[in-house]
Amino acid sequence: MTITVFGLGFVGLTTSLGFAEYGHNVYGVEINSERLATIKGGQLPFLEPGLDEALTRHLGNHFHPIGIDKLDEAVKHSDCVYYCVGTPYGLDGQADLTYLFSALDQTLSVRPTDKYQVLVVKSTIPPSTTSQKIIPYLEEKGINVGKALGVANNPEFLREGHCWDDFIKADRIVLGVSDERSAEMLRNVYSTVNEPIHCVSLNTGEFIKYLSNTLLATLISYSNEMSLVADTIGGIDVATAFRILHEDKRWGGATMASYVYPGCGYGGYCLPKDTNALYAVANTAGFDAQILKNVISTNDQMPTQIAKKIAHVVGTNKQRIIGILGLSFKPGSDDVRDTPSAKIINQLRLLGYTNIVGYDPVANDEFEQYYANLAICYENDYEKLIDRADVLVITTAWPEFSNIRQLTEKPIVDCRYML
Ligand SMILES: NC(=O)c1ccc[n+]([C@@H]2O[C@H](COP(=O)([O-])OP(=O)(O)OC[C@H]3O[C@@H](n4cnc5c(N)ncnc54)[C@H](O)[C@@H]3O)[C@@H](O)[C@H]2O)c1
């Protein structure tokens, strides 16, 4: 099959290369010219193990990265058009669908009208978006959805840092569809895949993704709230308590247990915006979801709580140097979007601590670009940071920090309970 994929970010580049690996011919469209040039040059625009090798294998063979200027050619030949563009925070926590609708418009401007194609949203979109926004939008333009073209969703469950493995060894494929012809074409996209393929309604397909992300967010907020309860009562070894909790055989040794562990609050691109978006869409539909509301509010208060804890260790001398260990939102990734480290640093600055030095094994440059307003200093060497700081704060659980007690006797605030 021939497939056009809009957006070559974490999801779009992985999807494009994954489909190329399945043997499809893939055009990957990217509007960011710098990102496009990097990919065309055979480099990844972000850190993602395994994806680099897939890019080397498929670039110029089954995978063709292109700009919007070549869209016409790509869409003309495609059986399916996939949308993997961002759906960031919008007004009042709603998902911002601007990128998605602009990619849809770009598709419609070059779409061949004599060919049945399926437009498939892989971006995370709140339940009812396809049925209440996308289909009416296409119908207003005189398109007979289901007859002239199909519309579907195919949510993605990959984790950053494991994008390639999660895509290639997906545990399930979810297809939100409303007509049999689209379902058949999408089953063909995944015809070489052995995992279960579930064809469900459009709203169900969208909902499953939020069910997954909001459960993870809930587990994290639950764990963080429990750590605050424990700190308030006192005399409780929080890390030990959680590790013993994980020994319960009902967890089955699952990696899910890693979400039932306190830290700095959930961050990254997906959990914060998706939890807010599901709360907002349910609220608009007339239901005030109390668990989601409290999950969000617990997460929102974590940077303040952690900054207070750090301030307690640093003391009243605001000139002491605070070394922040870890700037990406999780180990194994250089993604700094919505990273808790930035929020904690911001809170420390509000408390008057301005002597802050950051270190991350891979994300120093990304962080500096993204959060230029925080105006902190950076250190490119782990041991130099330890030498330079008066107090050390672990904000991302990079494995290399686990030896820190052997390297220094300086005070350490282990916000990830990893030591
Ligand atoms: N990052 C994750 O771990 C993850 C996991 C599952 C689902 N998702 C969802 O997938 C979607 C994409 O996430 P991401 O992390 O890959 O985002 P991203 O920001 O890394 O990538 C989006 C890309 O789309 C490009 N783009 C925007 N409009 C375009 C257009 N009209 N034409 C061509 N390119 C365009 C942007 O330049 C950018 O490179 C989001 O809805 C997200 O919630 C993300």
Would you say 29 and 102 are in contact if contact means Cβ atoms under 8 Å apart? no
Alpha helices (runs of H) in 59-115, residue ranges in sequence order: 71-77, 98-110
Would you say 281 and 93 are in contact if contact means Cβ atoms under 8 Å apart? no
**Distance of alpha carbon 210 from alpha carbon 302, whole angstroms:** 22
Mapping DSSP to helix (H, G, I), strand (E, B) and coil, where does residue 377 land?
Answer: strand
Which DSSP state fits 149? B
Would you say 273 and 88 are in contact if contact means Cβ atoms under 8 Å apart? yes
Specify the residue with its C-alpha closest to ligand 1, atom 25: 7
Domain ranges for the chain, please list them. Answer: 2-200, 248-414
Q: How confident is the model at residue 257 (pLDDT cuts 50, 70, 90)?
A: confident
Q: How confident is the model at residue 253 (pLDDT cuts 50, 70, 90)?
A: low
Mean pLDDT of the region 377-393: 98
Q: How confident is the model at residue 251 (pLDDT cuts 50, 70, 90)?
A: confident
Span 248-414: which CATH code?
A: 3.40.50.720
Query: Which pLDDT does position 252 carry in this prediction?
Result: 66
pLDDT tens figures, 58-77: 999 999 999 999 999 999 99
96 burial via Cβ count (<10 Å: 0-12, 13-18, 19+)? middle
Query: Which pLDDT does position 173 carry in this prediction?
Result: 98
Q: How confident is the model at residue 254 (pLDDT cuts 50, 70, 90)?
A: low
Share of the chain above pLDDT 70, in %: 99
Q: Is the CB of 9 under 6 A from ligand 1?
A: yes
**Distance of alpha carbon 172 from alpha carbon 43, whole angstroms:** 29
Specify the residue with its C-alpha closest to ligand 1, atom 39: 9
Closest ligand 1 atom to residue 274 Cα is 43
Q: Is the CB of 415 under 6 A from ligand 1?
A: no
Q: How confident is the model at residue 250 (pLDDT cuts 50, 70, 90)?
A: confident
Say yes or no: do domains 2-200 and 248-414 share a fold. yes
Q: Among all residues, which ones are annotated catalytic?
A: 270
Please give the span between the terminal C-alpha atoms of the chain, in angstroms, as a whole number. Answer: 50
pLDDT tens figures, 112-145: 999 999 999 999 999 999 999 999 999 999 999 9
Specify the residue with its C-alpha closest to ligand 1, atom 19: 86
CATH homologous superfamily of 2-200: NAD(P)-binding Rossmann-like Domain (3.40.50.720)
Which DSSP state fits 37? H
Would you say 1 and 117 are in contact if contact means Cβ atoms under 8 Å apart? no
Distance in Å, CA 95 to ligand 1 centroid? 13
Among residues 398, 317, 335, which one has the least CA distance to residue 361? 398
Q: What is the mean pLDDT of the chain?
A: 96
Task: List, in sequence order, every residue forming a beta bridge with 118; answer none if it has no partner.
Answer: 80, 150
Q: Is the CB of 15 under 6 A from ligand 1?
A: no
Distance in Å, CA 365 to ligand 1 centroid? 21
Q: Which among 31, 32, 85, 213 is the best mutation to test ligand 1's pocket, defined by most ligand atoms within 8 Å of the CB?
A: 85
Among residues 197, 227, 200, which one has the least CA distance to residue 211? 200
Q: How confident is the model at residue 147 (pLDDT cuts 50, 70, 90)?
A: very high
Closest ligand 1 atom to residue 269 Cα is 1
